[in-house]
Structure 1
Amino acid sequence: MPGDDEPTLEESRLTGVDAWSPLAPISLAHHPANRCEVWACRACGKPFLRYTEYGGYYEDRRIRELDPRRIQGQS
């Protein structure tokens, strides 16, 4: 929607593949990648995506290796 700065909650993934699976594509325009921060491992320096899911009474912190081969173009 024009003028809407809120990132979408729409997902772009393969049928039967969880968004956090190492095999799932990473679409920077879709949830959850569009709400992630990019961090690097202190030990090896590899980049990863960091996401915090805020539920009613909990926080669920998730990470995923940022594999450039899995990144999809904007759609």
Structure 2
Amino acid sequence: MSDTSELTFQLLKRLHAEFPDFRRDQASVKMRLGSLEQHVATMSVDIARINVELDHIRGDVGLIKRRLDLADA
């Protein structure tokens, strides 16, 4: 029974020693995820802005076609 206790104790000591690495890695992943979330939000705004500009361009092209009698009836 003492062998099991000793092995368990050694395992717990090793896990305890590695725990700060896990915390540091978790903080790093959290920061990177936050950065990715910001990039996605920025891209979403940019895409929405591009869609608005494309709608205006489509409207302008339609107006030009009608004025030049190029529009399909």
Same-fold call, TM cutoff 0.5: no
Q: Which has the higher contact order (CA 8 A, sep 6+)?
A: 1
Scaled by the length of structure 2, the TM-score of the pair is: 0.18
Greater helix share, 1 or 2?
Answer: 2
Quick check: which one's strand share is greater? 1
Larger Rg: 2
- TM-score, normalised via structure 1 length: 0.17
